[in-house]
Chain A
Amino acid sequence: MVWYALVSGANDYWAIWSAKSWVFGLQLRIFSQVSFFALIGKLLRSDEQAHFFLVGNAVMVAAMGATFAMNMTTAERANGTLSLLLASPTRPVVVFASRGLYVTADGILNGLLGLFIAGPLFGLHLPWPRILLVVPLTLLVGISAYCFSTFLAGVIIRQREITGLVVNATIVTLMTLCGVNVPVSFYPTWLAWISRCLPITNGLEAIRDVINGGSWSAVAAHTGAELLVASLWLTLALGTFGRFMRAGQRDGSLEYAS
């Protein structure tokens, strides 16, 4: 089922993007987004800051794709496929999570491209071969953000009018709270705790450690923390998605078409 969802997603993807619009539309936007923040470092006359913003926002792009997957339920409604997916014998959370996988994969690929293309242009040193570890770590951040977004998708499944609002508000909130543009140590203690319970934060610190030559124990600790956070959001999503869905079916608030 996951395989079919991925194949169907790939077809969706190439219906949306042509090779030209992918390069000059999507990739230009991603490169610009990462560069926009890296340029703040230039304004501050600090290469160190520029690299901090660049890495943070490239990883944020990966998480953004996962968060955009929240739009899938609204898209299924618009396409008239929501009722068909609900009729599937598989658990709704698995069906919907699978349908959004390609958006997450796209985000992860874009984040990595942003890092590996914009990075050298801004003079970011990518230490070989340890830089290879950034690939699975970005994958982990993307999946972690996807677990979080699947949980939120369940919460808002009956309020299709506000999906776009929630998606965008979630993205800027994560961008604000997850140590993307300032280190977690800058936050007040209570906020730092909230930050550590959100996806991205710990994984991003692991990625920064890999790039900056941090110790392997620090990388492992941050990776472990991100894995834990992802597992918690996944558990929450698995435990609640079906309930939100059934509640919507019971009271008729789950509309099947736009």
Chain B
Amino acid sequence: MRAFLAGARIQLRFLRSYPDSLIPFFTAPMFTVIFLMIFRHAGRPDLTAYATVAPVFIALWWLALFNAGWSIQIERWNGTIEMLVAAPSSFAAVILGRITTTTMIGVVSFAETWLVARLLFGATVRIHHLWAFVATIVITLATMAGTSVAMSSLFVLTRNAVTFSNAASYPFYILGGILVPVSVLPHWIRPVSSIVFLSWSADLLRAALRSTPMHDVGFRLGMVALLGVCGFALGAWAMRVILVRVRTSGELGTM
């Protein structure tokens, strides 16, 4: 826990020092404008909720992914990764602390996107199923953080983590059905989507904004949580294996 909190503290300092970390807070409102323009132009104001949910996922995914990538990369550039790995505290806990902090701050993008929708397009987003909505947000944030730990262990192995994280944006926006629901995607892609937690989260959030009754909320929330736990467990295991490997080969700072 102490390692987790230390990671959280250092991440807050990084966020203050590096404005680049705040990129999603500039891009999320713009994506809201883009999606709302598209739906208004197409005469589909009924899709307003879709336009306000998708930018939040883009912001959260970006924050989790790039902070995971950059955490490792910056430690390498600073020459501190060896000390971090050699410390008795869990490396994964420090990274998780850093990622969780940024992910939590990502909630701000909700307010931003909905404000933009209201001020520029006069669109009101109404939450019809409050508890389902809140539960989805909480579990999604936790899952997002857990998945990022899995990603960060992969980033340890790549020389250019940012290149890797750049490539992992749009493919997951499609597979996760963050704007276009998975039901619209080709049939062959749907099994893959079902193991991407974003698809369950995005469906739940959109459903919570609709007035029609929600079905199987518990099961769907459970799926989000399960995929998050799997991601975290896989990430923590992979990181242990990787760290043993790079400690043995002495390639941690250079590979």
Interface residues of chain A, those whose CB is within 8 Å of chain B, are 16-17, 21, 24-26, 28-29, 32-33, 35-36, 39-40, 42-44, 46, 49, 53, 161-165, 168-169, 172-173, 175-176, 181-183, 186, 258
Number of contacts between A and B (CB, 8 Å)?
A: 100
Task: Report if A165-B170 is in contact (Cβ < 8 Å); known contacts: A42-B180, A44-B42.
Answer: no
CB distance A29 to B170 under 8 Å? yes
Chain B interface: which size bin?
Answer: 35 or more
A32 and B163 contacting across the interface, CB-CB below 8 Å: no
B13 contacts the other chain (CB 8 A): no
Contact of A176 among B30, B77, B164, B184 (CB under 8 A): B30
Residue from the list A26, A28, A29, A176 in contact with B34, Cβ < 8 A: A176
- Asked if A164 contacts B173 (CB within 8 A), the reply is no
Q: By the criterion CB–CB under 8 Å, are A176 and B33 in contact? A: yes
* B63 at interface by CB-CB < 8 Å: no
- Assess A46 versus B42: contact at CB under 8 Å? Given A162-B19, A181-B37: yes
A21→B163 contact, CB < 8 A = yes
A162 touches B173 (CB 8 A): no
Residues of B131-187 at the interface with A, using a CB-CB cut-off of 8 Å, are 160, 163-164, 166-171, 173-174, 179-181, 184-185
B167 / chain A contacts, CB cutoff of 8 Å: 21, 24-26, 28-29
B interface residues, Cβ below 8 angstroms from A: 18-20, 22-23, 26-27, 30-31, 33-35, 37-38, 41-42, 44, 47, 50, 77, 160, 163-164, 166-171, 173-174, 179-181, 184-185
Q: Is the interface of A mostly helix, strand, loop or mixed?
A: helix
What distance in Å separates the Cβ of A223 from its nearest Cβ neighbour in chain B? 25
Partner of A161, one of B20, B47, B163: B20
By DSSP majority rule, is chain B's interface helix, strand, loop, or mixed?
helix
A44 near B20 with CB under 8 A, answer no
Across the interface, do B31 and A29 meet the contact criterion of CB distance under 8 Å?
no
Q: Which residues of B contact A181 (CB under 8 A)?
A: 34, 37-38
Q: Are A36 and B174 in contact (CB under 8 A)?
A: yes
Q: 15 A-B Cβ contacts within 8 A? A: A25-B166, A29-B167, A29-B171, A39-B179, A161-B18, A162-B19, A162-B20, A165-B19, A165-B22, A165-B23, A169-B26, A172-B31, A175-B34, A181-B37, A182-B37
| Nearest-neighbor residue (CB-CB) of A162 within chain B | B19
Find the B residue at minimum CB distance from A44: B42
- Which residues of the other chain, A, contact B47 by a CB distance below 8 angstroms? 43
